[in-house]
Structure 1
């Protein structure tokens, strides 16, 4: 057992551990591991902080997106309402325009009818005066008759034109 290789490896390992302990190598290894553990903890804390910030940014982005969607919906609704109002106003203006044009056309037609009726009356009066004048000239003669014809014709004209 003394000449066994495993025995001498075990003795060498114990001697090495003793020397390492005497020189403070274990303290350095433990200190290094503690520093590494602290660094890992800091990295984990930083990662946790970054994750929380990312969640806050995501929540802010989602809130802004929902607000933007709501505003877009309001804009669309307002535009639709304005378009409907403009269409209604245009329809009302068109109806008003048609009503004005119809009234103007009716007024012109009434004036034309009145003018035509007046022209027909004037033509009828003129024809009646000529016929009366012809008949009276044939039936009545002399200066007194001419004076009577003139007065009668003037009276007929004023009555027919009235």
Structure 2
């Protein structure tokens, strides 16, 4: 038997393996470099996606905070507007009550004045009627001299009786 090293098949196999090794070595380097480049791109994409995810989460948190702040602000505005409306309603109610009170006082003053005027007019008519009645009675019962004396006395007493 021929030793394995002396066999041409052995050397053909060795040559074939060396040829494959020489051919595959640059191809392996190319495949390895391509895979490394692709792995780097994938890692960069993953890192970019992670940073974008963080950025989106921060933006989401900011928008949620802004939305909560806006909701609080709207609630505060609504409460302020309600309070202001109630205050205005109370102010206007007070003004209306004061106006009604003033009108009532004015009406009472007018009624009092009209009452005083009516009483004064009645007094004046009573005085006029009394004077007329007295004059007629005196004309019938008194002579000229007695009438003049009574008239003078009445004129003297008039200021004390009117006040």
Does TM-score exceed 0.5, indicating one fold? yes
Residue of structure 2 equivalent to 1:20: 23
The question of 1:41 aligning with 2:39 is answered no
Q: Which has the higher contact order (CA 8 A, sep 6+)?
A: 1
**Farther off after superposition, 152-161 or 43-52:** 152-161
Instruction: Identify the match of residue 31 of structure 1 among 13, 30, 33.
Output: 33
Give the direction of change, closer, same or farther, for the CA distance of 1:32–1:51 in structure 2 (3 Å limit): same
Q: Determine the C-alpha separation between the residues in 2 that align with 1:66 and 1:153.
A: 96
1:7-26 CA distances to partner (integer Å, 9 max, x unpaired)? xxxx8x9677424234x110
Residues 1-162 of structure 1 mapped to structure 2, 5 A cutoff:
17-22=20-25, 24-142=26-144, 144-154=145-155, 158=159, 161-162=162-163
Residue of structure 1 equivalent to 2:3: none
Q: Give how far 1:111 is off.
A: 0.3
1:38-69 CA distances to partner (integer Å, 9 max, x unpaired)? 11000000000000000000000000000000
SS of the residue aligned with 2:143? Answer: coil
Structure 1: runs of 5+ lacking an equivalent: 1-10
TM-score by length of 2: 0.83
> Please, what is the CA RMSD of the aligned residues?
2.1
Q: Determine the C-alpha separation between the residues in 1 that align with 2:94 and 2:40.
A: 79
TM-score by length of 1: 0.83
Aligned residues: 149
Give the direction of change, closer, same or farther, for the CA distance of 1:152–1:122 in structure 2 (3 Å limit): farther
Q: Give how far 1:78 is off.
A: 0.3
| Shift >6 Å, 4+ stretches | none
